[in-house]
């Protein structure tokens, strides 16, 4: 795999570190130093690339750029409580569970769950998204507010399917497996699909980076595997989406836009 990176000249060292890290993940990073990365530059260079500038490390395409900005989540975290957050009730975060987020994405849900007490393993298989998560976690470890619970977040570079299969084989058990499949649109009614098309730029760029390429992204197989290692499996879905793997949940928490389906594996 190859990836282009544009970086402002003063960030040469950061580029070299990123190049070395991605080489470990079997990605060849081609770099180009530029004088200034601004909106005009991004419009003139619309192909997907990594960008290193004063905002740090970002993914850019089609004139947009994004990063998993955990510091931007601080206001939400400060408002959050075990009682106010539906995800906290669904995952029983008050019990400080061991939790695997098998569909890490930008890590925002895991950030909230770790803040509320969970010990979280984020599993991500795409090398570009993984280094973005590594970068944002390193930044969070320097933040006065976020650093106090970063030790509860562990990033794991792996395919979730393979990772959960390994845990099954080793007989490992966890309290919760959390699933938030990135591509639920395929199974929604047309109105929901149309509404989903108006996604934020973060999701637009993620969809470009992670094209829909099979059952992995829909999470059907993950539900089966998660049920073998977890006391409870929690699946986040758009409110009107069909059940994951066509499997009716044992319990639900309903919100305005989304819901949490809970599965309690027998025994």
Which residue positions form the known binding site for S-adenosyl-L-methionine? 124-125, 180
Phi, psi (5° rounding) for residue 95?
-90, 5
| Sign of the CA dihedral running 86, 89, 90, 91 | positive
- Binding-site positions read 124-125, 180
In residues, how long is the chain?
267
**Beta-carbon contacts of residue 142 (< 8 Å; ≥ 6 apart):** none
Sign of the CA dihedral with 70 first, then 75, 79, and 85 last: negative
CA of residue 220 relative to chain centroid, distance:
17
d(CA 69, CA 155) in angstroms, rounded, equals 16
């Amino acid at each position: 795999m190859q990836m282009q990176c544009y970086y402002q000249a003063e960030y040469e060292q950061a580029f070299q570190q990123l190049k070395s890290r991605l080489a470990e993940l079997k990605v060849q990073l081609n770099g180009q130093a530029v004088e200034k990365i601004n909106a005009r530059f991004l419009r003139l260079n619309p192909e997907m690339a990594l960008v290193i500038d004063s905002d740090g490390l970002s993914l850019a395409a089609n004139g947009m750029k994004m990063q998993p900005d955990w510091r931007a989540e601080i206001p939400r975290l400060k408002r959050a409580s075990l009682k106010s957050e539906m995800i906290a009730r669904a995952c029983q975060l008050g019990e400080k569970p061991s939790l695997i987020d098998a569909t890490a994405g930008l890590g925002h849900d895991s950030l909230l769950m770790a803040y509320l007490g969970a010990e979280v393993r984020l599993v991500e298989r795409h090398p570009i998204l993984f280094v973005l998560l590594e970068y944002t976690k390193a930044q969070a470890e320097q933040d006065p507010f976020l650093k106090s619970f970063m030790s509860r977040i562990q990033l794991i570079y792996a395919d979730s399917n393979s990772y959960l299969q390994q845990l099954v084989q080793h007989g490992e058990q966890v309290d919760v497996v959390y699933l938030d499949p990135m591509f639920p649109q395929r199974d929604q009614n047309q109105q929901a699909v149309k509404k989903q098309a108006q996604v934020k730029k973060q999701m637009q760029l993620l969809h470009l980076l992670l094209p829909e390429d099979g059952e992995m992204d829909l999470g059907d197989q993950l539900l089966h595997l998660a049920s073998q290692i977890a006391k409870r499996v929690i699946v986040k879905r758009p409110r009107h989406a069909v059940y994951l793997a066509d499997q009716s949940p044992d319990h639900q928490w309903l919100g305005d836009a989304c819901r949490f389906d809970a599965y309690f594996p027998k025994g």
